[in-house]
Every structure is written in structure tokens, then in C-alpha cells.
Amino acid sequence: MKEAKFSTKSIWAGEKEQLAFGATQVPVVHSVSFGYDDMDEWYEVAIGNKPGHIYGRNTNPTVQAFEEKIRILEDAEAATSFSTGMAAISNTLSTLLFPGDRIVSIKDTYGGTNKIFTEFLPKQQVEVVLCNTGDHDAIEREVAKGCKVLYLETPTNPTVKITDIERMACAGKTVGAKVVVDNTFATPVNQNPLKLGADLVIHSATKFLGGHADALGGSVCGDKELVEAIYHYREINGATLDPMAAYLLLRGMKTLKLRVEQQNKNAAEIAEYLKTFDMVESVYYPGLPEHPHHDIAKKQMSGFGGMLSFAVKGGVATVRDLLPRLQYANRAANLGSVETVVGPSRTTSHVECTPAERAAMGIPEGLIRYSAGIEDIDDLKQDLAQAFQSIQTYAKR
């Protein structure tokens, strides 16, 4: 029998082993502990010689089903999970880096990730080098000087810049660096970093994987030895994924391809549509031919994603007037949901940063992050049109 395709895997993968009592859906196992009458069997499970569970902070059947599903979708050797996406990022970096080590990354990473680079890792005597995103020559030069980790995020949050994963992975491997890629914006539907040479791929499962804005979670997939080391750090430090959250993420992932393909289409149309408004200064979307990294995106992505951003004339004042007028968009610090979600970086992705820090990363205060949902595209377009028309009419009074 031929290997199943993506949509089939997203529905069936990782679940059969965890079904019980004839259930067709993975049960939510809330039990904190798992008992054994046979002391020898208990010991074998405890030391990992035999499958099973002993304590919820370590492993759980519902959580295990989620881990196996994302492992299969990313075609990885192993996967582990976390309570949030930031837990996945911080635990991974804490596992891989020690005092005296050097990490190379880009300036346009998510605000929380950037804070780890600029605030926390330097306190641990880890040298951090942040290069201009898209300047592949500069990144290669810094990597060639030696580094323990090369950390990439592509597309970036919120300006959706693109980095050539295959090229950077080659540079990283030349010096023995571990290459880590945050694949949250792309999802395994649109991009597979492991196939492009990365060692590890990270997801904030809260976003597109779950897709319904009702569960926090994170994951790391990739090289088995690395994932096992990261799991060990997580099991001791305790950033465990909750079983109910794992169930909700599993449920959401069943429709991952359907949702993401629709979000790809909606985002592409919205990006083109926004260019028709005089109040829009610039639109950021890798699917646009004029995007500076469009050719790289075409090479490594099968779809350009459901995320875009745009800058408006008038800066924060226009953002303040425009967003409340949208009827089909949640104004919230989230993305990847079935509903369209909008918000400025100053209150979402880079709320932890100062205006000066955001400016240094090329994020204008008038930038709006737009996570396209799965609504009818005509309704989303009309909603934008009425919102822009409304503030223009108001301004003339």
C-alpha cells in the first residue's frame, strides 16, 4: 500500500495506538500518575526500556498522540511537546547552548525570541550575533567564524521576510552547527525545513496547527538524539503540554491542510487588494512578485502562507482608527486561527520591545499584522473597503 498523503496523515497519524474502549477519537487522559502492580515492569517503563507512562510531567497518552502526529507530518525522526511555543524555543536553546557558546540568527525573529537573544542568553555568557534578515552573505560570514547553533525563522513575524533554509543549513553544517528553524508561519503544509537540511523544526502549535485559538502548545521535531536531549530538559524543567490542550491541538490538526490552503488563498488575495488603497504605504507578503525574497519563497515553499502585514499612512493614529472598524477580524495577539486576526506589532508580536528596538528591526509603528482566516474572501475584502472608507469619511468632517 502506498504511503498516505498529507491530509490523510493529518487525520489518522499517531492516533490508533492511543485509542481505547472502541473510541474513534483519542481520549483525554487527565490522570497524573500511571500505576503498576509489577515492580519490574514499572522499573522498565520508568527507565525507558518498555513503552508506557509513569507520571504526567514526563509523558501522557493524549500528548504522545499529538507528538506522533506532528512528527509524521514533518517527516521527522522524533518529536516532543511543550506547554507553549515559547517554551519550545527556550527549552531548545537552553538544551543546545552553554556558557562560551556562540549562536547566529537574524534580527527579525518573533519578539519573545528576540528577547531571549538580546536579554537572556547574554546573561548566560552565550555570544549572540544577529544578522540582517535576507543578507545571506553576512549570515554565512558569521557562521563561518564558528557557532554552536544557527537559528532561523522563516517567514518572519511580522514582516514575513524569507531566509534560504537550504543555503543556510549547508553553511551551518560546514562548521558543525545545529540548524534550528521556526516553521510556525509556514506550517508543514507549506514548508518542510528538515527536508531542506535543518536539524530541528519548531512550532508554536497554538497558531496554525491548532487553528482555533483555544489551546496553547509547542513542539520540536527532528534528529532523534537532539529531540531526546530537549525532552529530557523539558521533563526536568516542567514545561509540559496539558492533555486537554493536546486533544484540542489533535482535533485542529485534522483539518490543517484544508484550513491552510484556504488561508493561503485568502492572504494572497488580500495582499493584492491592499495595494489598491491610497492609505496603505506598503504590503509585506512573500507571494507578491515584488517581495524581495519572492524567488526564495517560491523555491522552498509550496504555498506562501496565511500571514501578511501592511503599513498604513498616519502610523499609530490610523491603526487606532482603522482596526476597530473591521467587522470580520478579531483584534487580538494571536494568529493562524480560522477567524481573521489583526493587530499592530506594538501590541502583538513585539510588545516586549521598545519603539526604538522595533524600528531597528524594520517594524514601523503603523504596521498591521493580518492573519487571514477562512472566511469568504469577498466578505474580507468588503470589510477592509468599508473600514478604509469609514476613516476617510470621518477625516473629512
Catalytic sites, residue numbers: 57, 110, 182, 207
Closest CA to 255 of 47, 10, 1: 10
| 369 to 60, 72, 155, 330, 336: CA distances (angstroms) | 36, 30, 13, 12, 11
Burial of 42 (0-12, 13-18, 19+ CB in 10 A): middle
Rounded CA gap, 17 and 291, in Å? 45
Q: Which residue has the cell 509523558?
A: 59
CA 141, 143, 144, 145 dihedral sign is positive
Q: Which residue has the cell 521527522?
A: 76
Pull the grid cell for residue 218.
Answer: 509547542
Residue type present at position 375: E
